Amino acid sequence: MQRITANFHTLLGQASSTAHDYLIEGQDRIDKMFGQGYAKKNPILLAGFMQAAATDLTASITAQQITDAIDHLVTAIHGLGSLEHITADIESELNGIKEAIWETDR
């Protein structure tokens, strides 16, 4: 995954575009599933779709950022070299955390 480099104002602008995309996608999917106009008649369902999509994206990005940070920690631990007996245990624990994050995300 790429590092997020956008500044606050860029992210703020993208947020409304993302919400718009979720709205359009949600309306299309709900109407395909339940019939034309269903999403418009059921705004709470559409809002739930949008919230679920946003939550999924947030969870995925957060999990990726955490696992990337763990990878950096493991690399730093390898640089300690002379403490191999301790660093191996730490590396094992960090990799276990990474695996648990991805198991939860699935």
Sequential DSSP letters for the chain: -PPP---HHHHHHHHHHHHHHHHHHHHHHHHHHH-TTHHHH-HHHHHHHHHHHHHHHHHHHHHHHHHHHHHHHHHHHHTT-TTHHHHHHHHHHHHHHHHHHHHHH-
* 98 found inside a domain: yes
* 2 found inside a domain: no
Q: Residue 70 has what pLDDT?
A: 81
pTM of the model: 0.66
Tell me which residue range forms the domain holding 66: 8-105
Q: Residue 7 has what pLDDT?
A: 80
* 3 found inside a domain: no
- Domain count of the fold of the chain: 1
What is the rounded CA–CA span in Å between residue 55 and residue 101? 15
Q: Residue 93 has what pLDDT?
A: 77
What is the rounded CA–CA span in Å between residue 93 and residue 78? 14
Q: Residue 53 has what pLDDT?
A: 93
Q: Average pLDDT of each block of 10 consecutive residues along the chain (106 residues)? A: 73 87 96 97 96 90 83 75 69 78 63
* 1 found inside a domain: no
* 69 found inside a domain: yes
